[in-house]
Amino acid sequence: MLNAYLANTLQFNVELCNGCIMCTAVCPHAVFSRSNGAVSLIHPERCMECGACQLNCPTGAITVDSGVGCATAMMIAALKGRQEVTCGE
C-alpha cells in the first residue's frame, strides 16, 4: 500500500518497510513513528524534504524529492538572513 501526502513529495511504501526505525532516528520533525513493531507515516505535513529518511532507508520504502519545498525555503531564508521561514511561498 502506497501512502502519499500531496503537499510535498514524500512517499512511504508500507509494504517495503522492514521496521528498522532508521527513518524515526534521522527525521528532524518526527514524521514517522514506530508502534507495535511497525513504522507509520504519522505527520507527513511536517516533512521539509531534507532526504535523510530516504538516504537511510535500507529497503527503499521511502522516496522524497529532496531539495524542494520547505528545505529549499529554509536554505534561502538562511542565505538572505531571514529569521523566520514561511514554507509554501
| Overall number of domains in the chain | 1
Strands across the sheet containing 11-13: 2-4, 11-13, 62-63
Q: What pLDDT digit, counting tens, does each position of 8-67 carry?
A: 899 999 999 999 999 999 998 999 999 988 999 999 988 988 889 999 999 999 999 876
Phi-psi region of 37 (alpha: psi -120 to 50; beta: other; left: phi over 0): left
Structural domain includes residue 89: no
Specify the CATH number for the domain of residue 28: 3.30.70.20
Structural domain includes residue 85: no
SS3 state at 43: coil
pTM above 0.85, yes or no: no
Three cell numbers at 67? 531539495
* Structural domain of 27: 2-80
Contact 31, 41 (CB under 8 A): yes
